[in-house]
Structure 1
């Protein structure tokens, strides 16, 4: 197993990482694996889905609407350890939509499996799920700690690779990060101008620069990419506080 983990750590591309991760989980009897990133309490924030072996019917439904019903990432972040998704902790309380989602997983051939939250650079949080070939076997013999270690190593390497491939994205100036932050809170150019004490024309210029640096063409895509790359967290009070500190420092300067 150590050679499998080493292959994950030494993956030179996202494709290599995908293959190494599948191989490692396959060694544990779990050839089917998926990863979500980023995850947070706001389920409406876009989650990229990397799927290897699970049904396309589930993936399509998840991308379209069912991510809003999935309670597993929230549970995994709260408890901090790997667990079987068909054996939830006793203190978990689900609403009707969440209960239905877990029941529907059986219909997608995902009745049983294990999952865990993972943590990477720039405050990124991911989520891994894995199961047997059919999704029906109980994976009780699987060492959940080894699964968690493999998932964490894979996610850390993923964050390293995307940061290396998209290093230019980190070149946003402090003012551009402020503008992107308020874009993530749903503010218009006029609203951002008021918050930052700038003209609308100046804000518009910053928005165009952000689009160019992130290689996007609209506000939604800019916010989504900013969230996925750890540049901003939508509606996060810590980010807002940091933005306010930067503004205060400029005002004192």
Structure 2
């Protein structure tokens, strides 16, 4: 597929090919690659995808499945302060139900100091981009942020709808893969669940080792076992999958 030039519409061929590729993905890692390739075809410079807690979930925060191209300082600030819970424009987009350009998204009239500080900080670090809401089973929402750098592509209304449709299809597939039950004879051990719970809290292997009074190599061994059982290849996907299956301890 050819990359989309500024001013071009997103062809039905590109959208259909992307959706077919998404449905053929059997692992989250492969789905990540397909989504990043689609973002590149759009001319995007950055892509972030947050998977938010399901209704009634004990999981207090969302998890960042993809984050590529955004300034490291901004990403660190977002994650360290758990901005997914208080970033006002995210909630505006999710409640509005439509993809919007960052600078076209209305801000609430009343903002806390933390919210104002974050929005000012983010505005100084990124260019133009699109917020995209996505909706899944049991109220498990997704939030996608697509950055284009300094220049705003000339996407018409149909293109914006197509982008949102493609993001929705991808989010649904993520939900399907993450909710896929484990084989009956496969269960995480108490220690594996405990370590993944600390991973979900953002703790490094070294910090987890100190908390549990074990070696860092032991933490890595437990994580590798959990990865094999969950059929995943990284920490983020492991915590997401374990959370959706009710395998995490939440503090």
Question: What band does the TM-score fall into relative to the shorter chain?
Answer: 0.5 to 0.7
Determine which of 87, 91, 104 is the counterpart of 2:121.
104
More contact order relative to length (CA 8 Å, sep ≥ 6): 2
CA–CA distance in 1 between the matches of 2:54 and 2:113?
A: 20
Q: Which residue is 2:105 aligned to?
A: 88
Larger Rg: 1
Q: Which residue is 1:199 aligned to?
A: none
Q: Which residue is 1:77 aligned to?
A: 94
Q: Which runs of 5+ in 1 are unaligned?
A: 172-209, 233-253
Q: Which residue is 1:200 aligned to?
A: none
Q: Which runs of 5+ in 2 are unaligned?
A: 1-13, 202-238
1:216–1:222 contact (8 Å) kept in structure 2: no
Determine which of 114, 128, 137 is the counterpart of 2:130.
114
2:92–2:107 contact (8 Å) kept in structure 1: no
Determine which of 150, 168, 174 is the counterpart of 1:152.
168
Q: Which residue is 2:26 aligned to?
A: 12
Determine which of 186, 190, 194 is the counterpart of 1:217.
194
Q: Which residue is 2:61 aligned to?
A: 46
TM-score for the superposition, normalised by structure 2: 0.62
Deviations 1:53-110 (A, max 9, x none): 22222222211115154112211121011111212237664333223222211332x2
* Two-structure CA RMSD over aligned residues (Å): 3.6
User: What count of residue pairs does the alignment treat as equivalent?
Assistant: 189
TM-score for the superposition, normalised by structure 1: 0.62
CA–CA distance in 2 between the matches of 1:155 and 1:96?
A: 32
